């Protein structure tokens, strides 16, 4: 069973701090990795994707990928109360010629004013 | 730009009743389409995916079925709902090809009484 594991948290940080969210995946064949943000009662929203080893920055968000360690992370700088949400990590899985996403169970982040 | 529409937003149904949830995508052709269920406090479970009209792959055996009568229309159905069918149902689309992110509709919150 191919899996994506996230620490379920919850994670609580003060406003202005860096929030660090981590994810590991079991399928070495996974090529692409995605971070989704899900506010309570809403659907997941794509915020970052990364394909290559290293860092990818987009505004206050940085995704980090280490394929050798099968590890993906999301850093949120200058955290704001509006960042409070559940963050889902996902990895691609290719089976039978079709590509699907495998999702972690999510980590709940609370940013305290 | 592409948009995905999903309805209804909420639904309350008695046990044993039928179900039909509909999802449509605009602004793209030949998308991959997905149905997920998210139970309370749990991760996203892939139920069905489709790479084209009439092509449905089932991930989890259950009393649900899916159909794709048109290129950008995806329908989730059941003849007789069970209590365990309660949850948050999400439709998603992606472009064809590898390493494509999925984009979610607003979801349907289904409660079975």
Neighbours of A108 (CB within 10 A): 15
pLDDT surpassing 80 at residue B40: no
Minimal C-alpha gap between B104 and chain A (Å): 6
pLDDT at residue number A12: 97
Cβ of B43 within 8 Å of Cβ of A34? The answer is: no
- Across the interface, whether the CB atoms of B104 and A44 are under 8 A apart is answered yes
**Pairwise CA distance, residues B26 & B13, whole Å:** 29
| pLDDT at residue number A7 | 83
Report pLDDT for B43.
84
pLDDT in tens, chain A (113 residues): 778 999 878 999 999 999 999 999 998 888 899 999 999 999 999 999 999 999 999 999 999 999 999 999 999 999 999 999 999 999 998 877 778 899 999 999 999 99
* C-alpha distances in Å from residue B45, one per residue of A25, A55, B36: 16, 29, 5
Start-to-end CA span in chain B (Å)? 39
- Give which of B33, B62, B104, B32 is closest to A47, Cα–Cα: B104
Q: How far apart are CA A67 and CA B9, in angstroms?
A: 39
Nearest CA in chain A to B100: A32
Inter-chain contacts counted by CB atoms under 8 A, chains A and B: 47
pLDDT band for position B49 (cuts 50, 70, 90): very high
Q: What is the mean pLDDT of residues B96-112?
A: 93
pLDDT reported for residue B99: 87
For the stretch B56-71, pLDDT in tens is: 998 886 789 999 999 9
């Amino acid at each position: 069973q191919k899996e994506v594991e996230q620490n379920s948290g919850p994670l609580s940080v003060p406003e202005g701090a860096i929030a660090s969210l981590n994810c590991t995946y079991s399928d070495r064949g996974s090529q692409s990795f995605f971070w989704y943000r899900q506010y309570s009662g809403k659907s997941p929203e794509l915020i970052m994707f990364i394909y290559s080893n290293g860092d990818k920055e987009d505004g206050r968000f940085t995704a980090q990928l280490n394929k050798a360690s099968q590890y993906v992370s999301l850093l949120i700088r200058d955290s704001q109360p509006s960042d409070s949400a559940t963050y889902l990590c996902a990895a691609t899985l290719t089976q039978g010629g079709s590509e699907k996403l495998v999702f972690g169970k999510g980590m709940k982040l609370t940013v305290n004013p | 730009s592409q948009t995905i529409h999903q309805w209804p937003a909420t639904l309350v149904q008695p046990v044993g009743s039928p179900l039909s949830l509909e999802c449509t995508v605009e602004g793209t052709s030949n998308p991959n389409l997905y149905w997920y269920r998210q139970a309370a406090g749990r991760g996203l479970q892939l139920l069905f995916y489709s790479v084209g009209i009439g092509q449905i792959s089932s991930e989890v055996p259950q009393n649900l079925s899916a159909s794709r009568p048109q290129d950008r229309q995806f329908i989730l159905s059941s003849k007789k709902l069970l209590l365990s069918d309660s949850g948050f149902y999400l439709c998603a689309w992606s472009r064809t090809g590898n390493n494509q992110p999925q984009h979610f509709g607003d979801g349907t919150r289904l409660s079975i009484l």
